[in-house]
Structure 1
Amino acid sequence: MKQFIKELTIQIYKVLTYLVPVVKRIIIFQSSNGRNYTGNPRYIYEEMVRQGLDQEYHCIWFFFDTDIEVPGKCKKIRNNYFLYFWYLMRAGVWVFDSRQPLYFRKKKKVDYIQTWHGTPLKKLALDMNKMDMGGNTDIKDYHEKFRKTCADWDYLISQNAFSTEIFKSCFAFTDRPILQIGYPRNDILIRDNNKEEINKYKKLLGLPLDKKIILYAPTWRDNEYLGEGKYKFASKLDFDLAREQLSDDYIFIVKYHYLVSDKIDWRPYKGFVYTFDETKDIAWLYLVSDMLITDYSSVMFDYSLLKRPMFFFAYDLEDYRENLRGFYFDFAKEAPGPISKDTKQLIEDIKEYDTSLWTEKNEAYRQKFNHIDDGHASEKIVELIQKNGR
């Protein structure tokens, strides 16, 4: 019955949307398709709050869970209900970080700012020549859906010149503005990277102050899934060995990718492993951690701003590169930290890490991927919203 009502509502929305006038001062924000309050849209909105513009604009957040706390003056609307479609018909600005559903009808007077959600290592969208994503292997259908959604984007945010060139091809985005301004979500990494703020975040997250913190943030595997859009927590990391070797000095934060919905019993690792799901903004976790372990996730491009050690637990490197996605650059050559294939080697890399051995690679990496991030990206998008609304 719920599915029938949703489908009926979508059809009504498609018919009525062009009859309802656009109001420029209504802005819709959405992160991870409504799953959380994070990322680029969050920090653009919070910059509006900082400037007091949430009092002048009618700010709308789309969520599946409207109990999520959001500062400032905004209205939280549940995804796929009546008011959701009502504001879709009326809003003059959309600020999203993921591609929108195909049923959206974007009108000419709407400014759609697509912030996206990361610099790509792995092949994206129209650049992919094969796929096995949640059981879907129809690459032609996948490409066609991407073409349709990307055609509605008016602006696209890029973190660096490297991404700008890729976005032109993978999103067929050659005739509209790519805003190469850095990522709004990284403004906090520049602004709050000091001991006082870091300790504040540790306390808010319930983390100990007397241990070093390792952030483990792997990506998802296209072919390891529970159902459509729901992926497993794919990892070969031996947490028993890690606890045995590292627990005297370290704790782990495990951060799931927002598409991961696996339920894992972490109780045996209480006091050593702290977990955070897709609802927690990863920028806080970057700030509180002393080092990062990842694999092929775009977290590597944001975290490098902090100039802290990075380790790459790439146990399936060849398979991932050759059979799942493929990479845009030589990951093994350019990675600004040790690459390990098993937990024993990873632990050795952590214990023996020598910052001086990685200085040159880290600097080259930041020059390539962080040459734009300056702590003011959010302000630039807010300025664009104001300019277009005049």
Structure 2
Amino acid sequence: MMKLVRLIGSLILLPLYWFSYFVPRNPKLWVFGSWFGKRYSDSSRYVYEYVNKHEKDIRAIWLTRDPNITKHLRSQGYEAYHVSSLKGYWYTCRAGAALFTVNITDINTLGASKLLKFQLWHGIPLKKVVYDDVYHLPEQHGSFIRQKLLKLKKLLLPFKDVYGKWDLVASTSPAVSTIFRSAFRLSEEYIPITGSPRGDIILDSSTSKPSIIQDILTDGEGGITKRIAYFPTHRIHTEELSRFINSLETSGVPEFLEDQQAVLYIKLHYYNLEQHNHAIRPKRIVLLQEHEVPDINYLLPWIDILITDYSSVFYDYLLLKRPIIFTPYDLSEYLTHDRELYGNYEQLTPGPKCGTWEEVLTELTKLFSGQDIFFQQRKAMLEQYHTYSDTQNSKRVTQKLRSLLK
């Protein structure tokens, strides 16, 4: 019944989509959105702020579903509207370009009939994404009739096609372009190597220290010599992740952190925050909340050692040329139930592989004593996956858009 109601609602809204096709576009008006319109973060945010600061002739508008984000941006002197508001729709109709982090629902889908769509994406994929992700792509599942109905729905209701057809997808290197050609079904000419705007934040020496870093363990409480971060990727089933994190307390890691005057920050993917049952107590192990660090790219420059599993965060962290430890404790299960990868995990990950926190402790001990045997492998991967290691990626994205909107 609910599906029928949604279908009727979509048919009622369809004229608004076709109306947007006839609205004149303004090449100097760009709209931005991120993470289904729910967050103010990631590459579209960085380009939005760059344009506001450096490209004064461009009218940059942020679209969101969160009124708190709208209020915050307006207080900063930026222009922002609710995605589904009349202005959100109208300015999407008028925009010459839109910049995304995830998919078309980052902005107002009804007004997006013929604007130039620039997909900035949210990282270099280790896991298969979009059309390569056979586990989650609806067209890959169900009966023959269901698959045909889904294709018919996309044809009749193009604003419901969340992946859509991108005009441009930003890449960081030829190796990444090869992945994106397959994932987005685009030819190379539509995948410019601009670098990821994430890199601008990670490498910018003026990036301010997040308040959570400043507030925890001040000098009066012993100080901090090293900051370690554990950033796992999201999962469908989180039981093993919870057990892995909860095993920290008896692993010897808390004592090691105390001896070394180090701290371990844990930040779960925001998809899994409410599903995790944690019992973290040691003061030098800090479970970060979403409101404390809504965007980890501002945190990465302050991290000395990264621990992760299948998250693409390690590709971004390569820019900093610092050690990475991998924890594929549930690799077989992950590959079976969550995602396939773009290659062999062992070959794609430039660091030691640990199945327990005791093994992580062994690798941390080596790193603290100066043994970093994966330095050259990380350097090689940095060169392979990042053509640029500067802070000009947002500028290159902007220049590419300008060249197409003349």
Structure 2 distance, partners of 1:243, 1:326, is 34
Shift of 1:289: 1.0
Pick closer, same or farther for the CA change 1:271–1:281 going to 2, 3 Å.
same
1:188–1:283 Cα contact (<8 Å) kept: yes
Q: What amino acid maps onto 2:311 in structure 1?
A: S
State how 1:1-390 maps to structure 2 within 5 Å. 10-11=13-14, 13-53=16-56, 56-68=57-69, 69-70=72-73, 73-101=77-105, 103-104=109-110, 106-108=112-114, 110-131=115-136, 138=142, 148-174=161-187, 176-192=189-205, 197=206, 200-201=209-210, 206-208=215-217, 210-211=223-224, 212-221=226-235, 223-224=236-237, 236-237=244-245, 238-241=247-250, 242-248=253-259, 249-262=261-274, 268-269=281-282, 272-277=285-290, 280-353=294-367, 354-390=370-406
Give 1:130's aligned amino acid.
Answer: Y
Partner Cα distance (2:217, 2:76) in 1: 30
User: CA 1:269/1:14 → structure 2, altered by over 3 Å: closer, same or farther?
Assistant: farther
Deviation at 1:89, TM superposition (A): 1.8
CA distance in 1 between counterparts of 2:209 and 2:162 reads 40
Partners of 1:340 and 1:132 in 2: how far apart? Answer: 31
Contact 2:17 2:113 in 1 (8 A): no
Pairwise CA distance, 1:318: 2.0
Quote how far apart the aligned CAs of 1:247 are: 3.6
Partner of 1:352, secondary structure, is helix
CA distance 1:184–1:103, shift in 2 (3 Å):
closer
Alignment coverage as a number of residue pairs: 374
CA shift at 1:57, angstroms? 2.6
Alignment check: 8 A CA contact 2:81 2:87 kept:
yes
Distance 1:245 1:332 in 2: 27
Question: What is the TM-score when the length of structure 2 is the normalising length?
Answer: 0.80
Q: CA deviation at 1:29?
A: 0.7
CA distance in 2, matches of 1:107, 1:126: 21
- Deviation at 1:239? 3.2
In the TM superposition, residue 98 of structure 1 has moved relative to its aligned partner by 0.9
Radius of gyration: which is bigger? 2
Question: Counterparts of 1:11 and 1:92 in 2: how far apart (Å)?
Answer: 21
Give the secondary structure class of the aligned counterpart of 1:62. Answer: strand
Residues 367 and 64 from structure 1, CA distance in 2 versus in 1: closer, same or farther, beyond 3 angstroms? same
> For the structure 1 residues 235 and 132, does the alpha-carbon distance in structure 2 shift closer, same or farther, using more than 3 Å as the test?
farther
- Say whether the 8 Å CA contact 1:199–1:288 is kept in structure 2: no
The alignment's TM-score, normalised by the length of structure 1, stands at: 0.83
Distance across 1 between alignment mates of 2:100 and 2:208: 31
SS at match of 1:158: coil
**Aligned mates of 1:132, 1:114 — CA distance in 2:** 18
Specify which structure has the higher proportion of strand. Answer: 1
Shift of 1:219: 0.6
Aligned residue identity for 1:76: A
Q: Which runs of 5+ in 1 are unaligned?
A: 226-230
1:300 Cα deviation (Å)?
Answer: 0.7
Q: Kindly indicate whether the alpha-carbon contact (under 8 Å) linking 1:162 and 1:369 is maintained by their aligned counterparts in 2.
A: yes
* Structure 1 residue 116: Cα displacement: 0.9
State how far apart, in whole Å, the 2-side matches of 1:166 and 1:380 are.
21
Could you tell me how far apart the structure 2 residues matched to 1:381 and 1:261 are?
32
CA shift in 2, pair 1:200/1:171, >3 Å: closer
Counterpart amino acid of residue 66 in structure 2:
D
CA–CA distance in 1 between the matches of 2:217 and 2:13? 48
CA distance in 1, matches of 2:374, 2:120: 31
- Which letter maps to 1:286? L
- Check whether the contact 2:42–2:198 (CA below 8 A) recurs between aligned residues: yes
* Structure 1 or 2: more helix by fraction: 2
The aligned amino acid for 1:121 is L
Give the drift of 1:179: 1.1
Contact 1:22–1:91 (CA under 8 A) maintained in structure 2: yes
In 1, Cα distance between the equivalents of 2:243 and 2:24? 49
- Contact 1:224–1:234 (8 Å) recurs in 2: no
Q: Is the Cα–Cα contact under 8 Å of residues 31 and 98 in structure 1 kept in the other structure?
A: yes
| In structure 1, C-alpha distance between the alignment counterparts of 2:278 and 2:82, rounded to whole Å | 30
TM-fit CA distance, 1:358: 1.5
CA distance in structure 1 between the aligned counterparts of 2:116 and 2:388, rounded to whole angstroms:
24
1:340, CA displacement in angstroms? Answer: 0.7
Contact 2:323 2:372 in 1 (8 A): no
